[in-house]
Structure 1
Amino acid sequence: MEALKIGIMGTGRIASVLANTMLQMPQVVLMGAASRSLEKAEEFAARFSIERAYGSYEELAKDPDIQLIYIATPHSEHCSNAKLCLENGKHVLCEKAFAANYAQAKEMTDLAEEKNLMITEAMWVRYMPMAKTLKEVLNSGIIGEPMTLTANLCYLVSDKPRLVKPELAGGALLDVGVYTLNFASIVFGDEITDIQSSVIKTDSGVDAQNSITLCYPGGKMAILNSSLQVLSDRMGIIYGTKGYLVVENVNNFESIHVYNTDRELIETHIRPEQISGYEYQIEASGEAIRNGWTECPQMPHKATLDVMKVMDELRRQWGIRYPFEA
């Protein structure tokens, strides 16, 4: 099987993790890296032994040898960057949050389908073996009917300018809250009957921390919290009619502990060894491209769009609009 030729757009921290991961994957070739600064691109390329460095995103998108482009730019740039890639015949793996809003996300997936190219959101937990394990545990009925879940994801990152700038679509929701929303989506699906929320804003006007309550058919409920200002335990807990389970780290499921009605530990699942966890979304992208799919089954377009709709509604409730939104 011929190795998948990949380029990286953006050269920040996540791009570095992805680059290091790909170097350990024989089924892919990390061929190019692009930044708006040639110097940064060349430094990044040298660090990871990447053959080609580009001083503009256009050069990467137009390289005929590149098949898949991983987009690691700020949220505000995802839509224009993805369209540039798709217009030049490139498949796209785009960092979360997939776009700044639903309209942008729909534009991106529609264009991919029109061009018969694959585009998928790099919501890495969706692609991991532990996501499948979680579904299997829930489907086994060991905790009965899941009725309630809680999830939190909070980091001490308010000092990072990108995360508090409205013009870059900053805020806790798009950066870390999107993980809690995806956790709820994995467990309860995307048919939401009610959305309630509270927010604390930064001085710049984006959400510093938020609390979200989602209701689902059948009386199910998810309570989600995210923040840029504090450190949390990152736990996801699913409460059922016959017990409950605890997922350690909703940002990269490390373990699943299952408890019965006496709160006794009855089952444990530990995450398998991984390079970084990012390898699974790259493998899934390669599989989709080989099969001629425009999406990955692990992260279908509908799931991405449904989560984007929820985030749009939350920002509407909070009165947060990004400067570039019409």
Structure 2
Amino acid sequence: MISVLVLTLNEEINIGDCLDSVAWADDVLVLDSGSEDRTVEIARDRGARVLHRDFDDFASQRNYGLEAGGLRHDWVLHLDADERVTPALRESLREAVGRGEHRAYRVPSKLIFQGRWLKHAGMYPTYQVRFGRREALTFTQVGHGQRGALPPEQVGTIDEPLRHHAFSKGISDWVRRHNRYSSDEAGHARATALRDVDWSSLLTGTAQARRRALKDLSYALPCRPLLRFLYVYVGRLGLLDGRPGFDYAILLAFYEYLIGLKRREHARDGSRTHAEESADAPLEQDPQSPQL
């Protein structure tokens, strides 16, 4: 009834629990990007099929799995290795298939940090399109993440959440990944101008469309790290999540600071390159100047 597609790279800590949470599925494909640990071995021991593809971005990985993975069922659930499917979510997925009201569905996730669900600082519920018909659900890459390409009216919402163990490999791993993500976000920010903001979504769009528009608009704001901290810790009541909420808000502010640093670094490098090219270019005669 449902195929499961899991993206992996060096996920021996996570992949066992992830696959155990979808043991009810008779078709599980692990798309690996070149793991050097026991990820592939563990996946095969759990009965999953394994394919390899060098990683370029998340959207391309998911689309490749849909197109070349030989998935057996019309409905596909997309997971990362640090995510878990609860029994309640499993039943909600099956009910959605039975109703057939939409071609794809948004799924919320509960962020787990320091052994605690960050109900407030984790900005629950935030949704990603992760479940849908194989022939309809494709993805496009935006910043470091991916978005479903279907129009909003074809996308429904599932209320039961995934459990997201984003810190299962420790703070160092989180920082390493978000250093990479910040480069992608800086590139997206450089390419996004105020004219690109979907202003209509701010007033009349879905919650997900408003969130995307607000994100694009936020690139023009000053003091983004401080604003991100205040929004998460005060505006979203992350202070009610105790010390984990404070620590997570600090980490997000640090992430925003990295994005800003890389944007300014690129601007300086671009200006320097332009100046060097101008200095190296041959002098052109000004037609209004007298010849000597």
More strand by share: 1
Q: Give the TM-score range, shorter chain.
A: 0.3 to 0.5
TM-score by length of 2: 0.35
More helix by share: 2
